[in-house]
Amino acid sequence: MKPTIYDVAKEANVSIATVSKVLNNTGRISEKTKSKILQIMKELEYQPSSVATALTGKKTFTIGVLVPDIANPFFAEVARALENNAREMGYSIILCSTDYQLEREHDYLELLIKKQVDGIIIATEPKDLKKLRSLNDRNVPSVLFSIDHLAIDSHVVTTDDLKGGYLAGRYLIEKGHRDFVIITEPQRASGVLRVEGFKKALVDEGVDLEGVLVIEAKSKINEARKAANQILRLPKRPSAVFASTDLIAAIFINEVRKAGVSVPQDISIIGFDNTIHAEISDPGLTTIAQPIAKLASYTIEQLLDAIENPSIPPNRIMLAPTLIERESVRDLNK
């Protein structure tokens, strides 16, 4: 059986209060009893039950992380970064994949409340706004990660998607491109912003938006393939494509090659997220990188702040993305 504080106390001939004190370094204990107790804890391999601690101390040192799909490389990276930061601060993470389903999101939120997590990180486009708002009433701090939603009164840590799109647009124009197609995820707020930023760059550079086709595709293999082939069949092929995720871009490269069209000689493409797909694709994919590690550390920081001090007003932190230059965009000026 797992030893309890009573076992340690008995073995050391002291009271449980004394044991508790050396455990938490509170109060004053003589070096002698302290070392004795420490010794006995070692021998018994005693581990305090954080369940019991949580019941008194009101903290579970656990945070819930809601992602749409952990098998998506971007969210896998996010989960890893969040977990890392959380661990360093003594917190562990309950993983919740909503699979983009309202019901799962709802159920997980209830679960997290039941489990008394100290805070929640939401990295999935929220659907159950009502439940989400009720978190505030229940004093469960939350941070929106890489998404934004005005209807929710949470802290927000996100990439400046608008700027990311702008970076992509300006880069393509600098490289001499003038005819574009955009592939974007429908109904995803960040996707909309990315496209908006992209278009803004075009406008600023005097490109007519009339001629810019926007194709909708989810970041899934078959939808991306369909979009790629749709572009291939276009009467007038664009010189460059802006894809709102790397997966879409990577698949575009492959589909296009199969059709005998080469990247970047015949057509250029730029992605978004800088996931592993961008790194291993051939040619290497030029893309917009979200500063995942930094986003994660800010997110954990915000959340822990909010846990310590529930009354602080919701902050919004927006980090700048950067352009990672690889080989998927041709320089038409040369």
Partner DNA sequence: TTGTAAGCGTTATCAG
Partner DNA sequence: CTGATAACGCTTACAA
* List of residues contacting DNA (CB under 7 A): 2, 4-6, 13-18, 20-21, 23-24, 26-34, 46-49, 51-53, 55-57
Give the separation between CA 188 and CA 147, rounded to whole angstroms.
9
Q: Which stretch binds a copy of itself (CB under 8 A): 21-29, 143-151, 191-199, 271-279?
A: 271-279
With CB under 5 to 8 Å by kind, the binding choice for 62 among a copy of itself, DNA, none is: a copy of itself
Any residues with CB less than 8 A from the CB of 129 and at least 6 apart, and which?
149, 151, 152
92: contact with a copy of itself by CB under 8 A: yes
Regarding 257 and contact with a copy of itself (CB under 8 A), the answer is: yes
CB of 44 to DNA, least distance (A): 10
β-bridge pairing 286-289 and 240-243: unpaired
Q: How far apart are CA 303 and CA 64, in angstroms?
A: 11
Q: Which one of DNA, a copy of itself, none interacts with residue 277, CB within 5 to 8 A by kind?
A: a copy of itself
Cα 45 to Cα 8, 160, 184, 199: the distances in Å are 10, 48, 54, 62
State the minimum distance, in angstroms, from the CB of residue 251 to a copy of itself. Answer: 6
The option from DNA, a copy of itself, none interacting with 92 (CB < 5 to 8 A, set by class) reads: a copy of itself
Within 8 A by CB and 6+ apart from 180, the residues are 172, 202, 207, 211, 212, 213, 238, 239, 240, 241, 242
- Decide if residue 282 touches a copy of itself (CB under 8 A): yes
Applying CB under 8 A, among 250, 263, 288, 296 the residue interacting with a copy of itself is: 250
Length of the chain: 334
Contact between 312 and a copy of itself per CB under 8 A: no
The nearest distance, CB 110 to DNA, in angstroms, is: 13
Distances from the Cα of 94 to the Cα of 58, 64, 90, 133, 187, angstroms:
18, 5, 14, 20, 27
Pick 54 or 317: Cβ nearer DNA: 54
Residue 223 found at the interface with a copy of itself (CB under 8 A): no
Site for a copy of itself in 107-146 (CB under 8 A): 107, 110-111, 113-116, 134, 138-139
What are the strands, taking DSSP E only, across the chain? 62-67, 92-97, 119-122, 142-145, 155-159, 180-184, 213-216, 240-243, 268-273, 286-289, 316-319, 322-324
Q: Which residue type, as a one-letter code, is found at position 117?
A: V
Interface with a copy of itself includes 314 (CB under 8 A)?
A: no
Q: Which residues bind a copy of itself (CB under 8 A)?
A: 1-2, 45, 47-52, 54-55, 60, 62, 69-71, 73, 76-77, 79-80, 83-84, 87, 92-97, 104, 107, 110-111, 113-116, 134, 138-139, 221, 247, 250-251, 254, 257-258, 276-277, 279-282
